[in-house]
């Protein structure tokens, strides 16, 4: 996720939401993908600074008192599960897998220390697709062993299935869905473990204008709930720096961005902000570079993944990527790499923290869904990413944004 006292893994490869190709690679016939993907070299996503809503630097939180999923090793429970719902296949699957792995790391540590309380993680693949999520949600609710849900992962699917989980009073604790409107539905079971886009948009906009001194920014959005909401917040935050003449809309699944690239090329902008996911963000960045656009490429958590760097190749260099997610502390990163043989990614730390909170609830003796909702409602404690305490809306009482850069 420099400018902080947080200990990071040297050269840490960080990440930070839908569709149907799980190869993780942009097809070779796609414009902007032929040779750039092979040219990324040793580029990684590196933390620059944590910022507040005014775009000013804020020191990283002290993680020395972070909750340990192992607890005291004396927990007793029987037949308890937590579910994870998100994209585990499809072009944006890396984001869901980051979350699943973070949760598994916490649960495995817990189970290793608590022989009399073995918690199961049940995986539910939504592909990040709201329609698929509506097919999966009844299976989650129908599994009586599941007393808490980590997810859904993406904003669109969360909006689609939120009423199902609300009616079942099943804790829906998301590590990644950032659309601000999700907490306006009256769901008393929904809690967000990171800042929403109403925080991210103004924070990043202020950083772009006041710190990076960008005077002209083209805002491009995809058609997802996440992209639409984020673009709205960024545009508002940028004020006069948002150039309406080069604002553009694309669709999830698009691979040819030539029309949008030409609009931006003629604008002579300082930066292009892309509100969407890496599956489209990577070829878009590559095509901008191929067309000779020199504007800085800026995006957010939906693009903040090593797959963006892999697929965009050399075009990813120097891109700014924001995220309400925090960098991985050294021990976490090492443990994650040892277990999964990949670097931790965007939302991995949040998933670990949120799974740990659910585990603490289970270890306290909670065996039912209502009890776990109440536990989170009243929770107040440190995690690896931040301090976790929620307002009645389901939003964190305090949440900040990180700025990363591909170097």
pLDDT, one tens digit per residue, over 161-176 is 999 999 999 999 999 9
Please report whether residue 4 resides in a domain.
no
Q: How far apart are the C-alpha atoms of 226 and 18, rounded to whole Å?
A: 11
pLDDT of residue 63: 84
Q: What is the CATH number of the domain that holds 345?
A: 3.40.50.2300
Q: Is the pLDDT of residue 17 over 70?
A: no
Closest CA to 123 of 93, 78, 160: 93
Q: Point out the domain boundary residue: 323, 358, 383.
A: 323
Whether residues 206 and 304 fall in one domain: yes
Please report whether residue 257 resides in a domain.
yes
Q: How far apart are the C-alpha atoms of 272 and 264, rounded to whole Å?
A: 8
Give me the percent of the chain exceeding a pLDDT of 90.
87
pLDDT of residue 5: 32
> What is the domain extent for residue 116?
81-197+327-392
Helix or strand holding residue 361 (H, E) = helix 348-363
Q: Point out the domain boundary residue: 323, 349, 379.
A: 323
Please report whether residue 175 resides in a domain.
yes
pLDDT digits (tens, 9 = 90+) for 332-342: 999 999 999 99
Whether residues 214 and 301 fall in one domain: yes
Q: Is the pLDDT of residue 62 over 90?
A: no
pLDDT of residue 249: 97
Whether residues 259 and 288 fall in one domain: yes
Rg (CA), the chain: 20
Whether residues 113 and 262 fall in one domain: no
Whether residues 187 and 334 fall in one domain: yes
Average pLDDT on 310-320 reads 97
pLDDT of residue 40: 54
Contact assessment for residue 36 and residue 75, using Cβ atoms and an 8 Å cutoff: no
Whether residues 365 and 379 fall in one domain: yes
Please report whether residue 10 resides in a domain.
no
How many other C-beta atoms are found inside a 10 Å radius of the C-beta of residue 134? 14
Contact assessment for residue 7 and residue 331, using Cβ atoms and an 8 Å cutoff: no
Q: How far apart are the first and last CA of the chain?
A: 12
Whether residues 339 and 291 fall in one domain: no
Whether residues 93 and 147 fall in one domain: yes
Whether residues 333 and 193 fall in one domain: yes
Q: How far apart are the C-alpha atoms of 213 and 218, rounded to whole Å?
A: 14
Whether residues 203 and 318 fall in one domain: yes
Q: How many domains does the chain have?
A: 2
Contact assessment for residue 84 and residue 151, using Cβ atoms and an 8 Å cutoff: yes
pLDDT of residue 41: 67
Q: Point out the domain boundary residue: 293, 323, 353.
A: 323
Please report whether residue 365 resides in a domain.
yes
Please report whether residue 380 resides in a domain.
yes
Whether residues 183 and 209 fall in one domain: no
Confidence class of residue 115 from pLDDT cuts 50, 70 and 90? very high
Whether residues 205 and 245 fall in one domain: yes
Please report whether residue 73 resides in a domain.
no
- Mean predicted lDDT score pLDDT of the chain: 90
What is the secondary structure of 124-184 as a DSSP string?
EE-TT-HHHHHHHHHHHHH-TTEEEEE---SHHHHHHHHHHHHHTT-EEEESS---GGGGG
Please report whether residue 30 resides in a domain.
no
């Amino acid at each position: 996720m420099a400018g902080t006292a947080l200990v990071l893994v040297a050269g840490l490869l960080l990440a930070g939401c839908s569709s149907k190709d799980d190869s993780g690679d942009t097809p070779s016939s796609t414009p902007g993908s032929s040779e750039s993907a092979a040219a990324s070299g040793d580029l990684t996503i590196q933390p620059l600074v944590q910022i507040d809503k005014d775009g000013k630097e804020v020191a990283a939180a002290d993680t020395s008192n972070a909750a340990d999923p192992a607890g005291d090793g004396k927990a007793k429970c029987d037949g308890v599960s937590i579910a994870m719902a998100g994209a585990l296949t499809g072009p944006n699957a890396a984001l869901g897998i980051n979350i699943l792995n973070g949760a598994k790391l916490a649960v495995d540590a817990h189970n290793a220390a608590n022989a009399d309380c073995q918690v199961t993680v049940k995986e539910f693949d939504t592909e990040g697709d709201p329609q698929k999520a509506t097919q999966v949600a009844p299976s989650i609710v129908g599994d009586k062993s599941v007393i808490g849900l980590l997810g859904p992962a993406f904003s669109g699917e969360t909006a689609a299935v939120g009423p199902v989980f609300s009616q079942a009073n099943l804790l829906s604790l998301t590590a990644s869905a950032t659309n601000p409107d999700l907490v306006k539905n009256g769901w008393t079971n929904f809690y967000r473990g990171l800042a929403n886009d109403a925080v991210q948009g103004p924070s990043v906009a202020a950083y772009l204008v006041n710190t990076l001194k960008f005077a002209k920014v083209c805002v491009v959005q995809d058609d997802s709930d996440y992209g639409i909401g984020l673009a709205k917040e960024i545009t508002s935050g940028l004020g006069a720096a948002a150039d309406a003449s080069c604002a553009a809309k694309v669709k999830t699944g698009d691979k040819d961005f030539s029309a949008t690239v030409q609009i931006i090329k003629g604008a002579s902008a300082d930066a292009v902000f892309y509100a969407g996911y890496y599956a489209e963000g990577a070829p878009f960045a590559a095509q901008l570079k191929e067309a000779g656009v020199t504007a800085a490429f800026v995006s957010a958590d939906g693009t903040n993944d090593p797959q963006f760097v892999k697929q965009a190749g050399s075009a990813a260099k120097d891109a700014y990527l924001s995220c309400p997610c925090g960098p991985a502390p050294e021990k976490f990163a090492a443990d994650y790499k040892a277990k999964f043989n990949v670097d931790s990614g965007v939302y991995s730390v949040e998933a670990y923290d949120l799974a740990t909170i659910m585990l603490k609830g289970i270890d306290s003796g909670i065996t039912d869904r209502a009890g776990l909702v109440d536990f989170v409602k009243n929770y107040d404690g440190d995690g690896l990413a931040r301090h976790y305490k929620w307002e009645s809306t389901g939003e964190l009482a305090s949440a900040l944004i990180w700025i990363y850069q591909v170097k």
